[in-house]
Structure 1
């Protein structure tokens, strides 16, 4: 047993920097006041945490991430840049861009950081490979504060990488949201387990069986066995048969007086606060109405996802050289978030295409449709002033008066 404990905590034959050993040590000390062990892996067993992580990771993963090139006052897609294909299509041969972005965002929620190695050949990035966040340690130069990344692999030596070769995504406070709200998660799990035990014991918190006469040992054992067989597990809720004038009296103070259901709903709100998810998206609809449900969804996009997108874009820009940063920049296309609302999209397209600033082919390209005849020209409304269909400003009228 002593040898097994040494191996678990990294003092046996394994390296002291083995990620699994450190993770076991961290999980061992993650006990909450509710008596529940909360770690990133065990937190996924909480339905509210699982739903919140899925919504946040899948939302940012469904956004199109592209590289753009500045061209004077406008910008255009830089499809010829190496990072365009890696961020938009496949970062490596075995991972899609959607899976890659979702996995790194999940690492940020669990550990506060997400890492990927930028593999370069002749200075050109050819692939991005996700790194286990528990295997990466960051050190800083005491004078310049320049970070250095040390990656430890259990089967090999430790390697150091420059900050230019590591895509580092982090939370705003560099901390794990799961660990920061471990008490809320632990209480939610404890309440769920308590509900399961209540149902497993006959759908009652507790109770007593009162007998008018003193029971013999044989009668007591028989009564106890028959009650457990007929009033627990799958047999709960059946008809109870008591003998010798015994009566059952239920104790109803556990779940009612402690407002059990209200506590469970409140824990959903607490977990949603920690991960920036509105309660309506976690299917807690206690105070949801037709008016505020849409507003809460928009608040999630404005105050949670847009901030996450900006942190991602800043981290990706760090992979570019100083000269490239003057020309190229990454950007998430947040228009994808409204793609499911067909009526709103078509109404916006109609106004854009009918206005003096968007051509029909530009609208069609958003849905990956080809150009049409005359689609490259603007179609301004009849009352538009100063705009023509050939994208050129209207000629100024000649105000000269003949002598």
Structure 2
């Protein structure tokens, strides 16, 4: 089967698939829709999860906000040439690193894209061109867009217009098998998020009642439904009056007692369970726990290692996905003379002393010019021009050589004897 046949079979199964928020689609999450319509029996069921409801969980809000801001703040440079190519500072660099269009800054554009990726599961922007030259990049709302295949080619439909896939910058959290649909992290982790919402709601209702759990009345009960209601109302009124007055006790009918119903929060390990849900939320987005403000198991050393893990195993991978998409859509499949790349050094700056020592070592070992080191600290180049050269410490020489001889001759090999030494040896013999 050729790739075209595979595409046509997928096209026959589904001509169009909406990119709307999957948490509200009947085919993706029927229990949420049924609960919203009041059809689903809510007894014993976790609350339905939407993007807005999920962002109400502090851990989710922290994870999405941190990742989107961190990726949007990375410097994004355009280069000409292969590895080690020259950094460009033209219109394309301005679109990527300053303002993709006349209405949006680069930070806002990229933060919006990553927020869509880490909530609904997909972030998109279309490229406005004059001929083949990109002149603007405009963000798209994934909930208002749809995607279709026609004759084996992918097209995006947005606000009544159709865009080729080559003109749409498209990054998704996790693609489906047909490479058209996608998975949302909030939809995939909806059970863990719903549990966090349920525990938050329980804690709110518990403390809103003054910390008084549901109670049962034990003792001789009055006969008849109306008599029982009156007794219940009297006891409730006594409790409310005691709470208002700040009294530590209230009166009860003789022979009656109130006992709590259900599990107390402490016995149900509510604090530990809520802390565990923070860690579950961090796993959904692949974040080390310290970046969702969970320092329960943090130490001086392992929090520093989590900082390295963040760049290597989370931010670096998403930056690579965005770079590849930009390179493909901005320059085409076969244009290898230009590329776009993030500068991850901004996430690894560290303390001032460590940063300066690292730059000094790179300069002294010939890996970086002084001007390049000054540029990392946003300082101007050396006006004398000497900072544009590579330097190395004078004591660093190739293995097997020695410094210049006394008479200014060529370096001596430490495995060979000088003429003077040889004559001395002969005289001694």
| TM-score bracket relative to the smaller structure | 0.7 to 0.9
How far is 1:362 from its partner?
1.0
Q: Structure 1 CA distance, aligned partners of 2:161 and 2:267? A: 57
Equivalent of residue 79 in structure 2, options 68, 72, 91: 68
More deviation in 242-251 or 118-127? 242-251
Q: Structure 2 CA distance, aligned partners of 1:169 and 1:132? A: 13
More deviation in 171-180 or 307-316? 171-180
Question: How many residue pairs end up in the alignment?
Answer: 366
Residue 204 of structure 2 is aligned to residue 196 of structure 1: yes
Q: Structure 1 CA distance, aligned partners of 2:145 and 2:328? A: 18
2:168 corresponding residue in structure 1: 166
User: Structure 1 pair 313/19, CA: closer, same or farther in 2 (3 Å)?
Assistant: closer
The 5 A counterparts of 1:184-263 are: 184-210=192-218, 220-228=232-240, 230-231=242-243, 239-245=248-254, 247-251=257-261, 253-263=263-273
User: Structure 1 pair 197/111, CA: closer, same or farther in 2 (3 Å)?
Assistant: same
Say if 1:112 and 1:175, in contact at 8 Å, map to a contact too.
yes
Report Cα offsets for 1:291-310 as digits up to 9, x if no partner.
21111221121111111011
How far is 1:230 from its partner?
4.8
User: Structure 1 pair 306/98, CA: closer, same or farther in 2 (3 Å)?
Assistant: same
Residue 296 of structure 2 is aligned to residue 294 of structure 1: no
How far is 1:200 from its partner?
1.2
Q: Structure 1 CA distance, aligned partners of 2:219 and 2:101? A: 72
Equivalent of residue 134 in structure 1, options 143, 147, 151: 143
How far is 1:121 from its partner?
1.8
Question: How large is the Cα RMSD of the aligned pairs?
Answer: 3.3
1:88 corresponding residue in structure 2: 97
Higher alpha-carbon Rg: 2
1:45 corresponding residue in structure 2: 56
More deviation in 38-47 or 328-337? 38-47
Equivalent of residue 284 in structure 2, options 274, 294, 310: 274
How far is 1:265 from its partner?
1.6
1:121 corresponding residue in structure 2: 130
Equivalent of residue 187 in structure 2, options 179, 196, 209: 179
Say if 1:200 and 1:236, in contact at 8 Å, map to a contact too.
no
Q: Structure 2 CA distance, aligned partners of 1:296 and 1:263? A: 23
How far is 1:376 from its partner?
2.0
TM-score (structure 1 length as normaliser): 0.81
1:354 corresponding residue in structure 2: 364
Consecutive unaligned residues in structure 1, runs of 5 or more: 1-15, 387-395
Residue 108 of structure 2 is aligned to residue 99 of structure 1: yes
How far is 1:202 from its partner?
2.2
Secondary structure of residue in 2 paired with 1:325: coil
Say if 2:63 and 2:287, in contact at 8 Å, map to a contact too.
yes
Q: Structure 2 CA distance, aligned partners of 1:59 and 1:379? A: 34
Equivalent of residue 380 in structure 1, options 392, 417, 425: 392
2:404 corresponding residue in structure 1: none
User: Structure 1 pair 101/229, CA: closer, same or farther in 2 (3 Å)?
Assistant: farther
Say if 1:34 and 1:186, in contact at 8 Å, map to a contact too.
no
Consecutive unaligned residues in structure 2, runs of 5 or more: 1-15, 36-43, 176-181, 399-408, 413-417, 420-429
Secondary structure of residue in 1 paired with 2:101: coil
Report Cα offsets for 1:160-201 as digits up to 9, x if no partner.
111121111122444211111011111100010001111112
User: Structure 1 pair 238/45, CA: closer, same or farther in 2 (3 Å)?
Assistant: farther
TM-score (structure 2 length as normaliser): 0.76
